Structure 1
Amino acid sequence: MTRSLPAPDLVLGYRRDGRPINPVLGASADDPSNDEAQVTISQKQLNTLLAREKDQGGRAAVRQLVDKLGFSSTTDLTGYLTAQRQAEQQQLSDLERREQDLALREKTAVEREAQALARERAAARRALLSGFGASGQDLEDAATLLGVANDADDIEVNEAAEQLKARRPELFTPHPADAPAPTAPGGSPASVPPYRPIPVERSPGAAGLEMARKRGLLPPA
């Protein structure tokens, strides 16, 4: 059977790198190979074959890696890697928790120190205002109206106290209730009666016996 040669631009298929496969020109028409059936595949089929071969090669590489790492299957390798990730995550969580606890302790210490400093500062300013004459509720009002910054020095606080006294003298004026009560003739406050010694009762003749002892007529008791 005589067959005509295929057209030179006929694409019989594609190589793995995507190059087209063209018929080999110059062959003899009487060559027995001309009677063999020619198979033509589409680009989609070729891509499928290439992908399958690539997948098989990838699985072979994975099996080789699993054997090299000493695991019997990919499932064992996956389980080992999962456990390692969980352990690393747990370690990271523990570290973060310790860092948070440390940060909280440092914050608490700073807050306590600030509160103690604020109490000392308030006590010192109340003592200063008390020295200017403020007392009782007026002292608390004066401390509120002092109006100085927390980091003000002693000179600034003293000047502010003087200005406040000049502006609000009623806060530094002693009230009658705060004045000490006048003393009584006996040295006790006016509200307390003076001390009167309680007379001691003596038996009849006690005065004479005492006089005789003073004169040496009788021995001491």
Structure 2
Amino acid sequence: MTRPLPSPDTVLGYRRDGRPIRPVLGASAEDPSNDEVQVTISQKQLNTLLAREKDQGGRAAVRHLVDKLGFTSTADLTGYLNTQRQAEQQQLSDAERREQELTAREKAAVERETQALARERAAARRALLAGFGASGQDLEDAAALLRVADDADDAEVSEAAEQLKARRPELFIPRSADEVPPPAPGGSPASVPPYRPAPVDRTPGAAGLDMARRRGLLPPV
């Protein structure tokens, strides 16, 4: 049962300065706000309540997302995401490894091609120097002393060879005039035919007849 409000003229009390205190005018006995309890809170408490409500709302949204994706808990969702990240990282690592291997193979192929070109260039320049008269070790020395760029053409190499021959003529002396002919297969000089032993007579008694001739018992044949 709602308690009736006092009359507006009723004096409820007096203030310190002596003025009377009367009921608030305009209130209604049927107003629902008469049964509500008014609570006063500080701004800090209000901020805490708002943050708590926001956090609860965030957790509710996460639970809704987990249920929508078909997981039973956030831990399952986290484990699935971690697995996917590891798989993507592994794929990236494999791709990087393949790219590194491909780069290494391309680098090795370029190095082999460069070395082959260098050998061909060196052989061509040795042939040109040999045409100027260098040979043997002098040819190797002339090739080392040849002053020419790697990308020089035949005319530039020929000009550099002529300049080298003018500076170092001793490298271009024909070796055939100075070298001793190689030894023959038998060990004697090349101008002397190799020693060939006389054939031995293997008939019966031939050895005895030969010994008698050497001793002068029989006339020589």
TM-score, with normalisation over the residues of structure 1? 0.67
Cα–Cα, structure 1 residues 65 and 199, in superposed 2: closer, same or farther, change >3 Å? closer
- Tell me the residue number matched to 1:68: 68
- RMSD of aligned Cα (Å): 3.3
Q: How does 1:1-221 map to 2 (within 5 A)?
A: 2=12, 28=26, 38-174=38-174, 178-179=178-179, 181=181, 192-194=191-193
Percent of paired sites with the same residue: 73
SS in structure 2 opposite 1:109? helix
Shift of 1:194: 4.9
Q: Distance in 1 between matches of 2:25 and 2:74?
A: 51
SS in structure 2 opposite 1:108? helix
- CA deviations on 1:86-144 (whole Å, 9 max, x unpaired) are 00110111111001100100000110111111111111111111111112222111111
Could you tell me whether the CA contact under 8 Å between 2:135 and 2:175 is conserved in 1?
Answer: no
- CA deviations on 1:16-40 (whole Å, 9 max, x unpaired) are xxxxxxxxxx864787967975422
Q: Distance in 1 between matches of 2:200 and 2:78?
A: 111
Q: Distance in 1 between matches of 2:191 and 2:13?
A: 149
Q: Distance in 2 between matches of 1:149 and 1:3?
A: 118
- CA deviations on 1:35-76 (whole Å, 9 max, x unpaired) are 975422111111110000000000000000111101111111
Shift of 1:176: 7.7
Cα–Cα, structure 1 residues 37 and 60, in superposed 2: closer, same or farther, change >3 Å? closer
Shift of 1:177: 7.3
Q: Distance in 2 between matches of 1:194 and 1:74?
A: 103
Cα–Cα, structure 1 residues 67 and 30, in superposed 2: closer, same or farther, change >3 Å? closer
Cα–Cα, structure 1 residues 99 and 3, in superposed 2: closer, same or farther, change >3 Å? farther
Q: Distance in 2 between matches of 1:157 and 1:179?
A: 28
Q: Which runs of 4+ in 1 moved over 6 A?
A: 29-32, 195-202
Cα–Cα, structure 1 residues 80 and 27, in superposed 2: closer, same or farther, change >3 Å? farther
Could you tell me whether the CA contact under 8 Å between 1:135 and 1:172 is conserved in 2?
Answer: yes
Shift of 1:159: 0.8
- Tell me the residue number matched to 2:19: none
SS in structure 2 opposite 1:71? coil
Cα–Cα, structure 1 residues 164 and 129, in superposed 2: closer, same or farther, change >3 Å? same
Mind listing any 5+ residue stretches in structure 2 that lack a counterpart? Answer: 1-5, 7-11, 15-23, 182-187, 202-221
Amino acid at match of 1:109: A
Cα–Cα, structure 1 residues 47 and 89, in superposed 2: closer, same or farther, change >3 Å? same
Mind listing any 5+ residue stretches in structure 1 that lack a counterpart? Answer: 5-25, 182-188, 203-221
- Tell me the residue number matched to 2:9: none
- Tell me the residue number matched to 1:209: none
Cα–Cα, structure 1 residues 151 and 110, in superposed 2: closer, same or farther, change >3 Å? same
Cα–Cα, structure 1 residues 93 and 147, in superposed 2: closer, same or farther, change >3 Å? same
Q: Distance in 1 between matches of 2:76 and 2:36?
A: 50
Q: Distance in 1 between matches of 2:87 and 2:190?
A: 82
Shift of 1:201: 10
Aligned residues: 174
Q: Distance in 2 between matches of 1:113 and 1:84?
A: 43
